[in-house]
Amino acid sequence: MARAASTKGPTRIQREKTEAILEAALEVFATYGYRGSTLDQIAAKSGISKPNILYYFDGKETIHAKLLARLLETWLEPLEHLSDAGDPVDEICAYVGRKLAMSRDYPRESRLFANEVLQGAPRILDELAGPLKTLTDKKSALIQSWINAGKIKAIDPHHLIFSIWATTQHYADFDVQVRAVLSDKADARFEQAAEFLDTMYRATLTP
C-alpha cells in the first residue's frame, strides 16, 4: 500500500502533491487512454518523481481508479437535477444544457470516461450497472409519466437520455473534429451547440 494513503490526516503538502499527481494523470489518461499511459508520463507531467508518486499511490491503476471515482461522483449530478417541479420540456432542455456545460468545462474527464467505456468499462462496470442504471431508470420513469400525462411527445425515455449523452458529450470527446470542421467559427462552438440543441429538443418534445 502506498505509504501516504495509510496515514491519517494528510498534511497540506501531501494534499497538494496528491492533487498535482491526479491533475497530471487526468491529462495523461485523457490523452493516451489507460493502456497507453505510464507512470513515467505522469511523473514528467506533474514534475514529481516516479518513486515519489509511488509514495502516494500504489500504481497507475490506483490513480486511474481514484480519477474515475471522482468523475462518477459528478457525472450523475446533471441528471439528478431533472425534476418534476418544472415544465417537462424546460426540465429536459435544462438537462441538455447542463450536460453540454460539462463537456465544455470538463473535457478531459469526459474523454477519460469515454476511453474507459470503449475498453469495455472493466473498472467501472459495476457503477454503470448499479448507480448509473438506477438513476437512469428513475428519470426515465419520470419522463414516461410526462408522456402519459400528455405533457411531452411519446418518445422512448431511455433512448432520449442516450441521445442527450451522445449529442452533448460529442463536443468533448470529438472536440478536435468539431474545431477542425467549424474552423473560424470554432470559438463559438458551445454557444452555437447550446442554441441548436435547445431548438432541436424543444421541437422533438413539445406536443
- Could you report the per-residue pLDDT of 91-102, keeping only the tens digit for each? 999 999 999 999
**Residue 184 phi, psi dihedral angles, 5° rounding:** -70, -10
Give the C-alpha separation, 49 to 42, whole Å. Answer: 9
- CATH 2.40.128.720 corresponds to the domain 3-67: no
The pLDDT of residue 60: 93
DSSP at 186 = G
Do the Cβ atoms of 81 and 102 come closer than 8 Å?
no
- Could you report the per-residue pLDDT of 70-79, keeping only the tens digit for each? 888 788 999 9
Band (69; pLDDT cuts 50, 70, 90): confident
- Could you report the per-residue pLDDT of 36-58, keeping only the tens digit for each? 999 999 999 999 999 999 999 99
Domain ranges of the chain: 3-67, 76-205
The pLDDT of residue 70: 85
- CATH 3.40.630.40 corresponds to the domain 76-205: no
Spatial CB neighbours of 117, under 8 Å, sequence gap ≥ 6? 124, 128
Give the C-alpha separation, 190 to 39, whole Å. Answer: 34
Same fold, 3-67 and 76-205: no
Run of H or E including 5: none
